[in-house]
Structure 1
Amino acid sequence: MKLSALLTGAALALGLATTASADAHSKTKVGFVFVGPVGDGGWTYEHDQGRLAVEKEFGDAVETVYVENVAEGPDSERVMTQMALDGAKLIFTTSFGYMDPTINVAKKFPDVKFEHATGYKRADNVSTYSARFYEGRAIQGHIAGNMTESNIIGYIGSYPIPEVIRGINSAYIHAKKVNPDVQFKIVWAYTWFDPAKEADAAKVLIEQGADVILQHTDSTAPQAAAQEAGNVITFGQASDMAQYAPKPRVSSIIDNWAPYYIARTKAVMDGTWTSTDTWDGIGPGMVGIGEISDAVPANVKEEALAMKDKIASGEYHPFTGPVKKQDGSDWLADGEVADDGTLAGMNFYVEGIEGTIPQ
């Protein structure tokens, strides 16, 4: 082969490599750290739907990467560090236990933007975001209080953090309003995603007489356990879990992260990203209420949808007094609305809930 041909071929190869390198560098790489599997049917599934929405919105202008089943703690710090080293410009860390690792890694990569879900620690390059899940819990509590026949409602808690405690209190307040005889039984699973533990928790609650199961864990295992038991109703958590409708699953809380993920990615791309705290609910659409099935009486469904509309418009707040704390002390006076600071750090049960919050 002539030298000129070799040189031409080399130049062409170099040009293609340079173009490919330029294309790679022109893309905005966005990373996602997931606490469970993307197929969990709940929390992580919905975060991954948000990731896919980013890809759909921006096409070839972005590259998304994710790691699933990342344990909270040191392992998450390793995963975040690797993402930053691999060129991610924006990293979403999607579980409460990633809070300190996110802050630690962010200090090492000041040019990378981090978004931490459900936490409260921020920095110049760390934002926080969460959804007002307690708004959906109020609606679930209203339905549950109306539909229970045993007057025992079971609640599967993940970890005793403010986010979960808020949900328990909100559901209880609204169940109690429509059914003064209602009793909550709470089982702490100490996991976000463990189908076997979640199923066992549901079975224990059903054995104790619960005919309604609420959950703040991520798998569909409690739905399956309720379906097997019969005459037990449930609510989808984080995603619709509609495969169990119309019963046992009679409605759901749906986490809609896509608009937020798209907006924050765009902010990084156009250079307008700033550190913020976002806490949105039903009104802005971050919390959705899944279809209320026909297993729910028509009047109860109508009342639940009316509550949803009032929460969305700001006419009604789920934590409106009079409300006392579990120890009988006053918390909210008649008509008084809870402030976000108290809600964000909630570490107490409201009056009427039995048992203590684990430390």
Structure 2
Amino acid sequence: MTIVLILTGCSQPGAGNKTASTDQTGEAAASSDTNAPGTGGSAVGFIFVGTKDDYGYNQAAYLGSVGVEKAFPNMKVLRAENVPETAEAERVMEQMIKDGAKVIFPTSYGHLDPALNVAKRHPDVVFFHQGGLKNADNLGTYFGTIWEPVYLAGIAAGKMSKTGKLGYIVSVPIPQVLLNVNAFELGAKSVNPNATTSVVFTGSWCDPGQQANAANSLIDNGADVLSQHQDCTKTVIETAERRGMMTVGYHADASSLAPKGWIVGSVWNWSDLYVDMVKTAVDGNFKGSKYDGKYRGTLKDNIVQMTGFGAGVPDDVKQFDEQKKEELLNGTLQPFKGPLKDQAGNVQIKEGETPTVEQLEATNYLVEGVIGNIPK
């Protein structure tokens, strides 16, 4: 696997050996506490498990890093692509710290343990891990309730499907993946009680060959709408488009790949959040901030978003989905409110109960209507 390390921006002029913090305007200010996590430093590092142009997870994170670059013109932005979820991630982060990084964003789920190891060795560096469920004194995690737009996308898919058979190509059975599959099926079932979602686990965040095989298999078995929880989304979308099927996107807007079959997508809007996190860290305010534990942005916060609808989506479908979006935003719609049963008919959420975000992020089951088994 090739790791691409890209250095952009420039170090703060005249910083020398002094400890400095950088505000959002890029002006340097002396820091009185050189041991506080996140103070000083002339660089911020981002590590990606894939490439910045994958039409998916890494592209969304890369675009967020561009927002940081624009907001902090005097700060060096260090980026490394194709960083595996192994000890190699530690090596890359250690190098970034040698190059001046006092803030690091390990962006893949499997980068968490390597980041925790590096964080222990460098208490003066702040780490913001994307999607993690564990934190440390100088490592916070952040994510978003992406299941909200995924649920809305499921509604659109359920209305657009002619067969009532939907396909979902996913990576590994972590809670975030299972939660998205469930949200999608619940959305589809809310408008078509007979809708089913067949799920295929590839065991990989980005394997175009497996993705193509899974997409073709699902289509051959009657699915006319495909979605996915993969880092790189291009293969699934192009396969569906080539075969005349419809697509629901994920992570980043890939509508340009499917001019005929695109329905809508669920995407991340990281830029403003990344900028605020970096500012919080370099100002020495990480401790006690909303970012020093588990931060979760929402649809209301604009951290998670819907893309535009495809050209083939009728106005009545768009309007209905927008109506449901408003209900989500004002709290009158709770997609996971019980009773909710899993595939085996067991009640996972009792009648009248509305699960917390923490409960949803511990999802270890698939709901009724999902076809396919969770790998052991």
CA distance in 2, matches of 1:102, 1:238: 23
Aligned residue type for 1:180: P
Q: Deviations over 1:261-318 (max 9, x none)?
A: 1001101221111212111121101111001123122222111111112222333222
CA distance in 1, matches of 2:13, 2:371: 65
Aligned residue type for 1:22: G
2:275 is aligned with 1:244 = no
What is the aligned-residue RMSD (CA, Å)? 1.9
- Indicate conservation of the 8 Å contact 2:168/2:197, yes or no: yes
Give aligned-pair identity as a percent. Answer: 36
Picking from 216, 219, 233, the partner of 2:233 is 219
C-alpha deviation, 1:31, in angstroms: 0.2
- Indicate conservation of the 8 Å contact 2:298/2:304, yes or no: yes
Alignment of 1:186-197 (within 5 A): 186-197=199-210
For normalisation by structure 1, the TM-score amounts to 0.90
C-alpha deviation, 1:331, in angstroms: 2.6
Picking from 131, 150, 164, the partner of 1:137 is 150
Change (3 A) 1:193 1:318: same
C-alpha deviation, 1:77, in angstroms: 1.6
- Indicate conservation of the 8 Å contact 1:324/1:350, yes or no: yes
Structure 2 unpaired stretches of 5+:
1-11, 21-40
- Indicate conservation of the 8 Å contact 2:145/2:299, yes or no: yes
CA distance in 1, matches of 2:364, 2:191: 25
Change (3 A) 1:244 1:335: farther
CA distance in 2, matches of 1:196, 1:206: 16
* Structure 1 segments of 4+ aligned residues over 4 angstroms from their partners: 18-21, 23-27
CA distance in 2, matches of 1:75, 1:312: 41
2:115 is aligned to: 102
C-alpha deviation, 1:25, in angstroms: 6.7
- Indicate conservation of the 8 Å contact 2:128/2:141, yes or no: yes
1:11 is aligned to: none
C-alpha deviation, 1:356, in angstroms: 1.9
1:157 is aligned to: 170
Q: Deviations over 1:59-78 (max 9, x none)?
A: 11x11101001111211121
2:25 is aligned with 1:31 = no
- Indicate conservation of the 8 Å contact 1:145/1:182, yes or no: yes
CA distance in 1, matches of 2:330, 2:161: 29
For normalisation by structure 2, the TM-score amounts to 0.86
2:69 is aligned with 1:55 = yes
2:307 is aligned with 1:308 = no
Picking from 273, 281, 293, the partner of 1:260 is 273
Change (3 A) 1:22 1:280: same
Query: How many equivalent pairs are there?
Result: 340
Change (3 A) 1:106 1:115: same
Q: Secondary structure at the match of 2:273?
A: helix
CA distance in 2, matches of 1:48, 1:120: 22
2:189 is aligned with 1:173 = no
1:336 is aligned to: 353
Aligned residue type for 2:152: I
1:7 is aligned to: none
Q: Secondary structure at the match of 1:106?
A: helix
